[in-house]
Amino acid sequence: MNFKKTLMAGLMALSITAPLTSGLVCAANNTLVVADRASFKDWDPASAFSEEVRVLGNIYETLLVYNAPGSAEEFSPGLATSWESSDNGKTWTFKLRHGVKFHDGSAFNAAAVKKSIDYVKALKQGAAYVWKALDSIEVLADDTVVLKFQNPTPANLIAAGQYAAYIIAPAAVDKGHDWMMAPNAIGTGPYKLGQVEQGQQVVLERFDGYWGGWKEGQFDRVIVKVVSEASTRTQMIKNGEAGVAWDIPLDQLKVLGENPSIKVSTAPSWKNFQFLINTQKYPTDNLAFRQALQYLWDYEGVTNDILHGYGSVSKGPLPTSIWGHASVPMASYDLDKARQLLEASGVPKQDWKVSMQYISGIYANAAELFQATASQVGVEVELRPGEWGVIWDKAKKLDTAPNLQSMAWWPTYPTPSDWLFSEFHTEKTTLFNLSHYSNPSFDQLIEEAAALEGSDRTKSSERYVQAQQLLAKDAPAIWYADVQQIRVSRKDIKGMEKSLNPAYEAILYYNLNR
C-alpha cells in the first residue's frame, strides 16, 4: 500500500543486490561497501514508508521479528522476549529484553516503548494507520508493556512490521520529527547513523553497546553509496568495489551468477505484479470482457523473457508464500478462449479497445507484449506510459482512469488484508482500489477476516480464502507474477541467506561477515 510503493520506482527498476571493487574502501576487512540506487529522504521511522528501511532496519529494531516462511516458528524475539494476547485478541502483553541500550546510552524499557508507539500514532504519517485501533498503552514494569486495542488486533504481526514498528529512543522523540529528518537517529540496532552526504552516501558505524554482541569478521562500518546508474552498480559488483549491491537489472543476473566471485541469492518474496482492470469503465465494466483480457496475457512469456525467470506465474491474488494464500482457478494464455469470451461479452467489435497505463521498465515491456498479443484477436490497446505520481492521480478518477493500470504490491506487515483490503475493498475516496471494484460480499469477508487475525488465525484464513475465490471470479485484475527476493553479493561475504525474508526489505548487515 503506501507510498512505499514509491513504489513502483524501485520495483520497476526491478533489480537487486550486488558487490563493488576489491581494494580501496573494501580493502579494510571490517568495512562493507554497498551500492544502492535509492537516495534516502525520510529518516524518521515513524513516517518512513519507502526504501529508507534498507538503512533504518540496521539502526532501529522491532519488538518481534517475523521469520521467513518455512521456519519452525512464525516469530522470533526481538526487543521483546515473550508475548501473549487475551482470548479476544484485544489485549497484548509484551515482556521486554533486559540489558538493551539505545545509541545514546539510555536504557530501553517499557516507558520507551510506550513513548515511541504513542509518537508514531500521533504523527499520523507513513504507516501509522496500523496502530489505529490502539486504545491505550500501559507500563506495568520496566520490562512489561500492555497494549490495549478497541478491536481484536494482530499486534504480534504489527509489532514485527518493517514500517511504523521500530522503537525510537525517548530522546529522539523529544527532539521531534524535524530533528530526525535532519538526519539524526537514536535506535537500539547494531549500527549507529554516521555521516550522511545526501544523494551521495550514508555511513553506518558499529554500536559497541549492542545487546547482541559482536563477533570476529562482522563489519564495523557500512558505507552505503548512492549509485543511480544500474550499469555502474553492476560494474562495482563485478570488480569488487562493493560487497553488496542493490537493484541489479534482471537481465544481468545470470551472467553475474556465473562469475566465481559473485553470489546471487534468491527466495520467494511477497511482491506481486498486477494490471488492475477498471470494473466501472467501458468496455471493462463487462465481466466476460475482463476475463478475455486475462486470457490474452502471456504469463509464461512475461515470467521467462521479461522477468528472466526471477519470478513465477501468480496462482492467486496473493503471493503463494504468505499465510492465507489461496490457489484459485486462474486464466492462462489462450487466444481462442479470449476470442470466445470477447464474442460472448456482447461488446461490439468496434469497441474492443482498451487503454493501458504504466510506468517504465518491466511494466512497459509487459504492456507492449500485451498490446501485440491482443492485436491478434482484434483488441486495440492504447499504451499510456508515465511517471507514477501522474498516472496514479489519473487512475483514481473515473473520468481520467485507464482500463488497465499497472501495480506492484507488498505488505506493510504480514497480512493478506494489505492486498485484499487496500486494493479491492470498496472506497468512498479512491486511493489504491484502482480497479474501482465494489462487491459487498467481498467487503464483508475481508472485514471479518481482518477482525479475526488477532484471535483466530484459522478462521481468518478461511475467510481470506473465500474472498480470493470471489475476487478471482469477478476478474478485477490480471495477477501475472510473484517476483523473487534477490540478493547479490561478493562470494566472500557470508550470511546473506539470513536476509532472505519476504517480510523485510532490509539486508541486516549485522548478519554478514567476511
pLDDT tens-digit map of 438-479: 999 999 999 999 999 989 999 999 999 999 999 999 999 999
Instruction: For the chain, give every residue range classified as CATH 3.40.190.10.
Output: 55-177
Separation CA 51–CA 33 (nearest Å): 18
Other Cβ atoms less than 10 A from the Cβ of 254: the count is: 12
Asked whether the beta carbons of 312 and 304 are under 8 A apart, the reply is no
At 35, the amino acid letter reads: A
Asked whether the beta carbons of 265 and 257 are under 8 A apart, the reply is no
Separation CA 161–CA 411 (nearest Å): 9
Report, as an integer, the average pLDDT of 82-87. 97
Q: DSSP class of residue 97?
A: P
Q: Which residue has the cell 534482471?
A: 250
Instruction: For the chain, give every residue range classified as CATH 3.10.105.10.
Output: 269-484
Asked whether the beta carbons of 100 and 108 are under 8 A apart, the reply is yes
Q: Give the model's confidence band at 38: pLDDT under 50 very low, under 70 low, under 90 confident, else very high.
A: confident
At 201, the amino acid letter reads: Q
pLDDT tens-digit map of 396-431: 999 999 999 999 999 999 999 999 999 999 999 999
Burial class (CB in 10 A: 0-12, 13-18, 19+), 339: middle
Asked whether the beta carbons of 421 and 437 are under 8 A apart, the reply is no
What integer pLDDT is reported at residue 28 of this predicted model? 55
pLDDT exceeds cutoff 50 at 24:
no
Mean model confidence pLDDT for the chain:
94
pLDDT exceeds cutoff 50 at 2:
no
Separation CA 431–CA 409 (nearest Å): 14
What are the backbone angles phi and psi of residue 200, rounded to the nearest 5°? Answer: -120, -60
Q: Please, what sign has the CA dihedral across residues 168, 169, 173, 176?
A: negative
The angle at the Cα of 336, spanning 330 to 341, to the nearest 5 degrees, equals 65
Candidates 3.10.105.10, 3.30.420.40, 3.90.1150.10, 3.20.20.100; CATH matching 269-484: 3.10.105.10
CA atoms within 13 A on the CB side of 320: 14
pLDDT tens-digit map of 307-347: 999 999 999 999 999 999 999 999 999 999 999 999 999 99
Q: In DSSP terms, which residues pair with 203 in a beta bridge?
A: 223
What integer pLDDT is reported at residue 25 of this predicted model? 40
Separation CA 395–CA 229 (nearest Å): 29
* Cell numbers found for residue 263: 553470489
Separation CA 116–CA 110 (nearest Å): 10
Q: Give the model's confidence band at 71: pLDDT under 50 very low, under 70 low, under 90 confident, else very high.
A: very high
What integer pLDDT is reported at residue 42 of this predicted model? 96
Q: Give the model's confidence band at 39: pLDDT under 50 very low, under 70 low, under 90 confident, else very high.
A: confident
3-state SS assignment for residue 99: coil
pLDDT exceeds cutoff 70 at 245:
yes
What integer pLDDT is reported at residue 29 of this predicted model? 66
Report, as an integer, the average pLDDT of 36-61. 95
pLDDT exceeds cutoff 80 at 23:
no
Report, as an integer, the average pLDDT of 204-224. 98
What integer pLDDT is reported at residue 392 of this predicted model? 96
pLDDT tens-digit map of 107-136: 999 999 999 999 999 999 999 999 999 999
| CATH no. of 55-177 | 3.40.190.10
What integer pLDDT is reported at residue 360 of this predicted model? 86
pLDDT exceeds cutoff 90 at 15:
no
- Exposure string over 87-102, b if 16+ CB within 10 A, otherwise e: eebbbbbbbbbeebbb
The angle at the Cα of 458, spanning 453 to 464, to the nearest 5 degrees, equals 70
